[in-house]
Amino acid sequence: MVRLNEIRSSELAVPLPAEVQAGVYFIGRCHTPWTDRLACPRQGRLDGPLCRIEIFEPWVPCLEGIAEFERLEVLYWLHESRRDLVRQSPRNDGKARGAFSLRTPVRPNPIGSQIVRLVGIDGATLLVRGLDCLDGTPLLDLKPDRELFRPLAPRQAGDDEVGDRADQA
């Protein structure tokens, strides 16, 4: 069963650092059918409900060229997730795992990442399928799906490196 904020046996919560070490800009907002964490899907589906991603000014010009891509990677801030639970028991069976081994929204930096299908663009709004976040979730970034993207800039030395360098062994 999905839960809100309880801590199960074998789970571990830690105190959060007092200092914030970085800042981000919310560049938009995700609009989805889900207003309740207990009803929100755990993972989006490319055939899921139609959702909207609203882009705020001054970031609207960043959308230029995005229509070339069938799929996008959406990064968003899971603003209702707790951040202190480092070991979790998703099955509630007494066996805990580290947050980094799970796709849980409960993590030190609650950044969600989802591949969505771009259905259309209406001004500063993208129509997509595949989101798995609450209505009103702050948007961090959009990128073409890495499987569909090839760099436009000229190649550089590191682009062709494979294996380990001798001096790193």
Tell me the pLDDT tens digit for each residue of 41-53: 999 999 999 999 9
Tokens matching residue 88: 């979790």
Whether residue 119 contacts residue 32, with contact meaning beta carbons closer than 8 Å, is answered with: no
Q: Can you give the pLDDT at residue 49?
A: 98
Asked if residue 157 has pLDDT above 90, the reply is no
Asked if residue 165 has pLDDT above 80, the reply is no
Within 10 Å of residue 105's Cβ, how many Cβ atoms?
20
Q: Residue 149 — pLDDT band, cuts 50, 70, 90?
A: confident
Q: Can you give the pLDDT at residue 167?
A: 66
Asked if residue 1 has pLDDT above 70, the reply is no
Q: How far apart are CA 156 and CA 13, in angstroms?
A: 43
- pLDDT tens, residue by residue, 72-97: 999 999 999 999 999 999 888 889 99
